[in-house]
Amino acid sequence: MSERAVTRMSAEEFLEWCLHQEERYELVDGVPVAMAGAKQRHDRIVVNALTGLQPQLRGKTCRSYTADIAVRIPVGNIRRPDVGIDCAAFDEGSTTAGAPFLVMEVLSPSTRDFDMIRKLEEYKTVPGLAHIVLVEADRAQVFHWSRAAGGEWRYELLEGLDAVVRFIEIDCALDLATLYDGLTFRPLPRLVRDDGTAA
């Protein structure tokens, strides 16, 4: 039995098609993929990131955006990061970021591995993108990649509510206390030896 043929879309066809859809989609290898809905914890982190960034961006060329705005990947995929910063001139009719400077994804159990591997590598290919931030939802931990002047990517792990993610090119920063404002964390399980003492 042969598989049913899949009609693949170009990025332009997909973006036009999205204008008539009620749900959000990403384009992956020419095929529209529906985005899963977010839990309140995920949404709280997204809102905290936007409210933390917006006052620092006021009056600057760059501005924050949500997953309603798409990012074009050079291979043809279309992604919708949870939060982003675009440094292109404002175009009120566009559905894509003109010059993405930062993308941020809040990790969830169902998409964590995909975001940490494939989506991360896709974002690294976007020209002009300077920062990729992946945020753990259940603990105060952020993975931050920044592009150096020579084009190579540098990585840092930020942990604890006192840590700060810095975007020095636009004089902007986001501390983890703001990112996780209003959220609590379950204590991590402790390892215990056979004799009952902590490992």
Tens of pLDDT, residues 1-31? 445 556 899 999 999 999 999 999 999 999 9
- CA 41, CA 138: separation in Å to the nearest integer? 9
H or E stretch at 18: helix 11-18
Find tokens 């709280």 and name the residue. 44
Six-digit token string for 25:
């989609």
Closest CA to 31 of 47, 10, 51, 50: 10
Contact partners, residue 56, CB within 8 Å, separation at least 6: 171, 172, 173
Mean pLDDT confidence for 104-118: 86
Torsion of CA 75, 76, 80, 81, to 10 degrees: 10
- Give residue 116's pLDDT: 86
pLDDT of residue 199: 62
- On the question of pLDDT at 190 being above 80, the answer is no
Mean pLDDT of 137-158: 95
What structural domains and CATH numbers belong to the chain? 38-179 (3.90.1570.10)
In the beta sheet, which residues pair with residue 96? 70
- The Cα 168–Cα 172 span in angstroms is 6
